[in-house]
Structure 1
Amino acid sequence: MPLTFSLTWDYRCPFARIVHRHVVDALLDGADWDVTFVPFCLGQVHVEPGEVPIWDRPDDDTGLLALQAAVVVRDQDPDRFWPLHRRLFEARHAEGAQLRDEAVLRQLLAAEGVDADAVFTEVATGRPLTTVRAEHEAAARDLDVWGVPTFMAGGRAAFVRLMDLPHDAADARRSVEQCVTMLTDWPALNEFKHTSLDR
């Protein structure tokens, strides 16, 4: 029976990059996991009560365009999603790419063999934005999710911060499986945080 969990993401978060790199590297190496990747907009998290939701002014947010493009690929071309997902995180955090720029996203999509015209034609319909909003709001409503990366499994959710990219696929697999096991099999654990870092 595969390990089943969901995981939130926003390409702007460096800790989401690390966790998603673990997940994608392990999946590409053959990990028997059933993973649902859930877009979660950090821009909306920072909207103050009474302000216009970011969904109603998406051009004001630096992360929504990339989330929408990725959701199109996730839903319409899933075989290309994992490599694209990893590539977008690396472009943002290792190369300083501006993922709010459609031209930059088009180059990254094309580099992974994705039809960028088809992706942005779909984005223009508004459907991907609706999907991002619905999945973000469901995570926040149902499991009190407030950030990325958050693992969700067995009706529970936990924000997880890993500090290092995986050494290899085995390390990636071990780290993710430990996170999910702690979430699902140890309900008494509420918080576990080191008081200092060896760095």
Structure 2
Amino acid sequence: MLPTIRDFLKSILAVLSVTLFAVLVATTTWQVVSRQILNEPSTWSEELARLLFVWLSFLGSAFLFGERGHIAVDFLARKLPFAGQRVAQLFVQVMVLLFALVGLVWGGYLAASIAWEQNLTALPFTIGWVYLVIPIAGVFIAVFALMDIVGLFLGEIEPYPEIDDPVAEPTEPAASDSTLVVSAEADSTDSKEADR
């Protein structure tokens, strides 16, 4: 049940992030074209690009948190026994939940409500729309943190999942690699014999 809800929420955030990114690229492209080619700078594109960037940053952060892909310094926690890892991860998730509820949801609501009457200069929106994404992202992060807490209690998720290192060298060459090495050695031997 929880993985299905998590996947649904992540898909919403992914669609929103991709859409915002596409509109951001189009807006920035129009800004460059209007300024450099048409010599008539657009008055609204810079402000819209700034608004889109803020929204993309917060929603993208919430998506990354849902993926459990956020930056974490977990070197010491991984050295603990499994029970200690679970306690450490529960503590982290409770702190994230508190920060999301107090800092992002409540604080973002206050920031948006204070700025709701302040107009943007080039767009028909208020500055409150810029801040509105903070409590929205906070709700998503709080839900993901709550799911992680429940998943840790039920033993459905690992406290610190193993991470595949894409930079690590393979220990054994693949069959195609050894074929290439053998054929390269044969070619070099043939060229040495031809030189004699």
Task: Say whether the fold is shared (TM-score over 0.5).
Answer: no
Q: TM-score when scaled to structure 1?
A: 0.25
Structure that is richer in helix per residue: 2
Whichever of the two has the greater Rg, that structure is 2
Q: TM-score when scaled to structure 2?
A: 0.25
Structure that is richer in strand per residue: 1
